[in-house]
Structure 1
Amino acid sequence: MESVDKLKVTAAVALVAIGVAGFYIVPANQGALRVLAVIAGLLLAAATVWFSQPGRDFVDYARDSVKEAQKVVWPSRKETWQVTGIVFAFVGVLALFMWAVDSGLAWVFYDVILGRK
């Protein structure tokens, strides 16, 4: 990252900090003005980062991410219900298996080994 870009990112962080500080400096009864201070700080910081190389890289990354998300093939309603049914069936079978193992171990330890009835 170039020194100019570092300066821009530092300025953006400072603008956010100034916006947050403005929130606490403005009296509590001026709620809209307090929120406006934070929003102004965020918008100015975003505008500053927008013109830096890391900001442009982030925008390119975001655009590529949207393009990749558009390539996703979503399952149909029927496929979704089928997979959900399989998951519920597997959970039921696993619950029965775990109950059987727990009951079996309880019988072995309490009835066979310890002799309790």
Structure 2
Amino acid sequence: MKSRQNTESSPVDTIKLVSALVILGAGIFGFYVYEDQPQLYRVLGILAVGAVAVGIAVSTNPGLRLWHFMQDSRTEVRKVVWPTRQETVQTTIIVLIVVILVAIFLWLLDMLLSWGFQQIVLPGG
């Protein structure tokens, strides 16, 4: 396994990434070319091709760095303290009340501006 310290990308990495994209593109092309085959086989085929493409991509330095980043992100998501159901309901109610109040304020402002515009444009009116 490559070290996390190495941030350089070699020409071999570029070739591997391009080949992974070509393999993935060929898998997608094959999915549509063989549309007369059962869908289960086509889906399993594209999953297998996708796994091979990901395997090739992860064997490169940029792919390995992305893999480590995703693992670190997953670890950080696990550290998040998610709100309880009660907190979520209370926050949702507060947001709905504020939205309704802002909507009423904007409606009243629109009515006032419309009335003012009519007084200017239609004198006597």
Q: Distance in 2 between matches of 1:81 and 1:24?
A: 45
* 1:67 paired residue number: 75
Measure the CA separation in 1 of the matches of 2:33 and 2:101: 61
Give the Cα–Cα distance (whole angstroms) in 1 for the partners of residues 105 and 29 of structure 2: 59
Where relative contact order (Cα < 8 A, 6+ residues apart) is larger, the structure is 2
Cα-to-partner distance string for 1:30-61 (whole Å, 9 max, x where unaligned) = 23454444333222212211222122111111
Superposition TM-score, scaled by structure 1 size: 0.80
Q: TM-score, normalised by structure 2?
A: 0.75
**Paired residue type of 2:101:** V
Inter-partner Cα distance in structure 2 for 1:31 and 1:13:
25
Unaligned runs of 5+ in 1: none
The one-letter code sitting in structure 2 at the alignment partner of 1:82 is Q
- AA in 1 matched with 2:53: A
Q: What is the aligned-residue identity percentage?
A: 36
- How many residues are aligned here? 115
Asked whether 1:30 is paired with 2:37, we answer: yes
